[in-house]
Amino acid sequence: MIEKSVKNKDELNDFLRDEKELFFTNLIICIQSAWEVGDSAVDIATFHIEETSTVMDIVITSDDWLESLNLALFYFENVENYEYCEEIKQTISKIDDDE
């Protein structure tokens, strides 16, 4: 899980835009782990926004795992990281078969 303090929402948006590979890699690992142990939701990231003293959690429930993995697959296809593409496809297949 990613845990990060940011000054404001603009810095949060910058992080998400600039660190897509980190975000999607983390997403894949978290979903795989949650699926293997039978969890129904997974915490992907927590952001502490200093300016407003708020916390933003990104949590994905099992109902949205396949869609999230497809978004990750789309990202890794665009950056031509085919190793991750294969791993994502295998994970999608396992989850799909389990439903």
The pLDDT of 77-98, averaged and rounded, is 95
Q: Is residue 99 part of a domain?
A: no
Q: Is residue 54 part of a domain?
A: yes
pLDDT for residue 19: 97
Q: Is residue 60 part of a domain?
A: yes
- In our burial notation (b when 16+ CB lie closer than 10 A, e otherwise), range 26-45 reads bbbebbbebbeeeeeebebb
- Phi, psi torsion values for 77, nearest 5 degrees: -65, -40
Q: Is residue 59 part of a domain?
A: yes
- In our burial notation (b when 16+ CB lie closer than 10 A, e otherwise), range 8-17 reads eeebbeebbe
Over the stretch 89-98, which tens digit does the pLDDT of each residue have? 999 999 998 8
Over the stretch 33-52, which tens digit does the pLDDT of each residue have? 999 999 999 999 999 999 99
- With a pLDDT cut of 70, the percent of the chain lying above it is 99
Number of domains in the chain: 1
Q: Is residue 67 part of a domain?
A: yes
Which residue range(s) make up the domain with 85? 2-94
